[in-house]
Amino acid sequence: DGFEVCRRLKGNPETSHIPVVLVTALDQPGDRVKGLEAGADDFLTKPVDEIALVARVRSLARLKVVVDELRHRASTSASFGLLQPLPTISSDDGMNGRILLIDDRGSSAERLVSALSSGHVVDLETQPQEALFKAAEGAYDLIIVSMGLRDYDGLRLCSQLRSIERTRQVPILLLTEAEDRSRMLRALDIGVNDCLARPVDRNELLARVRIQIRRKRYSDRLGEILQESIQLAVIDSLTGLNNRRYFESKLPVLIETAAERNRPLSLMILDIDHFKAVNDTFGHEAGDEVLRVFASRVRTVIRTGDLLCRLGGEEFIIVMPETSIDVAAKIAERIRETVNAAMFPIDKGARHIPITVSIGIADRRRDRDADVLLKRADKALYRSKNGGRNRVSADAA
């Protein structure tokens, strides 16, 4: 039957994100609850109000566009090595949510709080203006708004919640009067996620609340996967520095900015001396410890506006905007001294070994070619290594 079809759709990772509207002749609260618990996003009874159907579908389709974009971006995380599967909406039970209830009807609000508090944390706010501030600061999973506020238009409040950045993606459940059809349709058009007519059936309220909380957590998780994939794409997991991918995208922009403003820009390449011997003698785990400590020490020398990246292996690079080659040479010398000044711990501090670094520097000339700048810095680095290592060399061109 329709309930089973809905359950199967929502249980399949390939289709769980697709909104489902159940259309049925069953019109009792228990039937609606059964449909909602099967995973339906909405439940309409026959004869179907065509205008209401179109409004519901338009609202659900608009929300799905946002979810589809998140799914598409999150799915590309596999190309960055983040292989965890995408979540399904049904994987969360929709319980233990944080709910803000905005209602100034005393007895009604008390009943709603009582019904919701068994499975959620509920904050009641009777003042609409105060509710806007609380909603923006409260990190809520759901906002429930009463249409029948005494001195404030409930639709206006919903519109304001949608216009605030911090509450734009928080689902809104609007409590309406059964006869207030036109305002309910308007609410769906301005971005309200769901409407529930009074008198409120307790079980239907709880079912609709769970649906909205599940949907929000699903979107939040997709966003987290996207953020993790972005981090994975541009951050070196071992040292916490930006990686080669980030550097290659950022350097041309920095050079172009410096050229347009006719400002200096310098670049230095750092290569840890005899790093292969560290790995061969003490093991790769010791090499990883050296890389982490090295990155930490270099960070203490450079300035906030300088870009420090790990290119790979034992090679690092620093881009220094607003910096002449003379100033860059002084900074490079401080880095060399800082690295050389103290032994590096390995084997979790059980042993210590000496580490030195060779550095090559170049500055931006008249050209705007990132490759040319890198080649000149690399030649300077070669002179440092060929001249005995543990030294700084500047581009002589």
Q: Supply the residues annotated as catalytic.
A: 314
Tokens of 379: 């030649």
Whether the Cβ atoms of residue 80 and residue 91 lie closer than 8 Å to each other = no
Helix (H, G, I), strand (E, B) or coil at 123: strand
Task: Tell me the DSSP string of 42-58.
Answer: EEEESSP-HHHHHHHHH
Alpha-carbon gap, residue 132 to 130, rounded angstroms = 5
Helix (H, G, I), strand (E, B) or coil at 90: helix
CA-closest candidate to residue 318, choices 359, 263, 367: 359
Q: In the block, which residue shows the tokens 């709910």? A: 99
Reported as type and span, the H/E element at residue 277 is helix 275-282
Helix (H, G, I), strand (E, B) or coil at 359: strand
Whether the Cβ atoms of residue 204 and residue 29 lie closer than 8 Å to each other = yes
Tokens of 243: 């990686």
Task: Tell me the DSSP string of 273-322.
Answer: TTHHHHHHHH-HHHHHHHHHHHHHHHHTTS-TTSEEEEEETTEEEEEEET
Alpha-carbon gap, residue 328 to 298, rounded angstroms = 14
DSSP label of 239: T
